[in-house]
Amino acid sequence: MNNYDEFCDFMDEYIDFYNEVCDNEKLKMDALASDDLQLINKVLAEYQIFVTKAEIYEKRRNELFRKIGLDGKSFREIVDMENGDRREELEDLFCDFRDAVMTAREYNSRSLDIVKKNLKETGMQDYDVNDPACYDKSGNISERGYSVQNILDRQA
């Protein structure tokens, strides 16, 4: 693969980002479990920053893949294109990326379970907690910020 080092450097950075997402997802889960509304609001505001960063990373990833001729390829397909030491290095990166995304999804799933439980206890169990819309402080959906894609809707 041409630009192998550039690809690996970007994926290392992307993995670091998803490890930060994991930390934020755990904070969100812990905040929801604590019932501390100020902490919940703080963590959810920080989550919006991660949504924006995820969109930027995806844009950078798409541009890089186009630039180096990998447009439309999945990470798994890229790994399978290589041999020897490079393949082993890419396999390690792939596993790190997959693990970070799966951990973030697990924390997010637990958070949703907490929210569903709390909504059920308050008699609001029919509320759709899986709605991907992001609301501002006034409870309105921002047209600019609404991408219909959850930060965790990524495929390794």
Summarize pLDDT for 16-25 with one digit per residue, the tens.
Answer: 999 999 999 9
Ordered DSSP codes for 70-117: -TT--HHHHHHH--HHHHHHHHHHHHHHHHHHHHHHHHHHHHHHHHHH
Closest CA to 29 of 13, 40, 42: 40
Confidence of residue 156 (pLDDT cuts 50, 70, 90): very low
Closest CA to 81 of 96, 95, 69, 67: 69
pLDDT at 126: 57
Summarize pLDDT for 38-69 with one digit per residue, the tens.
Answer: 998 998 888 889 899 999 999 999 999 999 99
Closest CA to 30 of 44, 20, 16: 44
pTM of the model: 0.73
Average pLDDT over the chain, rounded to an integer: 83
Dihedrals phi, psi of 155, to nearest 5 degrees: -115, 130
Q: Domains of the chain: which residue ranges?
A: 4-121
With tokens 């980002």, the residue in question is 17
Confidence of residue 122 (pLDDT cuts 50, 70, 90): confident
- Of the chain, the end-to-end C-alpha distance in Å amounts to 19
